[in-house]
Amino acid sequence: MNFRSQNWPWAALAGVGMLALAAVITRPNHARANAHHLPANPHTDGDGRTLVAYYSRSGFTRLMATEIARQHKARLVELVDPSYQGALGYVWAILNSHRRTATITPATLDVSAYDTIYIGAPVWLGTSAPEAWAFLHNIELAGKKVVLFNTLSGKFSQRYVEQFAALVQQRGGTFGGHLYVLSDKQTPEQFVAAVREKLS
C-alpha cells in the first residue's frame, strides 16, 4: 500500500472539515440576512388542501417554503431539529448529512386534510438534510401527492431524488416532482425572485 492510498481517509476527513468550517463562517450571516425578508409569523394554517413542511438551517429553505405556501395558500410548518443549533451545529450538519433519521418537532402531523404535501430541506453533500427524510417516514402518505423541494449551493445526486421518490411510492403516495433553487452567491431578493420564476 503506497503513501497516497494510506492517507486518503485523512484527506477526505480534512475536506469535510473545510466544508464544515466554511459553513460555520458563512451560514450564520445568511440566516441573519434572510430573517429580514420573512413575515413576522410565516407559519400559517392556510385555507387550501396543500401542506408545506420544511427544515431550514440558513434561512434559504424557509424563504422558498414561504413562497410556495403563499402561492398555494397552503399550511406552512417548520420542522425544528435542536441537534444543529449554534455554530457547531453546522459542523454536525455536514457530518450527518447522509443520515435518514433526525429528531424533529413536530415529529409527525395529521395530514388527512391535505391532497398535496411539499417537503423541503437544504442539500448537504449531495443529499437532502436528514429532517426531510425523517418527516417523510413519520407521516401517512397513502393517496398523497408529495413534492420534494431543495435549496443548494452546489450539486445534488439524482440518485437521492430517485430514492426519495421510491420511498414515497412504497408508502402509497405519488411523487409529484422535485423543485430546487441555487442559493449560492445570491442575495435574499435575488433568491426569492429565482423561486418565483421556478414556480411560475
CATH number of domain containing 37: 3.40.50.360
Q: pTM of the entire structure?
A: 0.77
168 in helix, strand or coil? helix
Predicted pLDDT of residue 7: 53
Tell me the per-residue pLDDT of 90-125, one tens digit each, with 9 for 90 and over.
Answer: 665 566 556 667 789 999 999 999 999 999 999 988
Q: Which residue has the cell 408545506?
A: 52
55 in helix, strand or coil? coil
| Lowest-pLDDT range of 43-52, 80-89, 156-165 | 80-89
Q: Cβ neighbours of residue 28 under 8 Å, at least 6 residues apart?
A: 58, 87, 90
Query: Number of structural domains, the chain?
Result: 1
Positive or negative: CA dihedral 195, 193, 19, 58: negative
Q: Tell me the C-alpha to C-alpha distance, in Å, between residue 55 and each of 24, 61, 121, 163, 182.
A: 18, 7, 5, 19, 16
Predicted pLDDT of residue 127: 84
Which domain covers residue 109, as residue numbers? Answer: 3-199
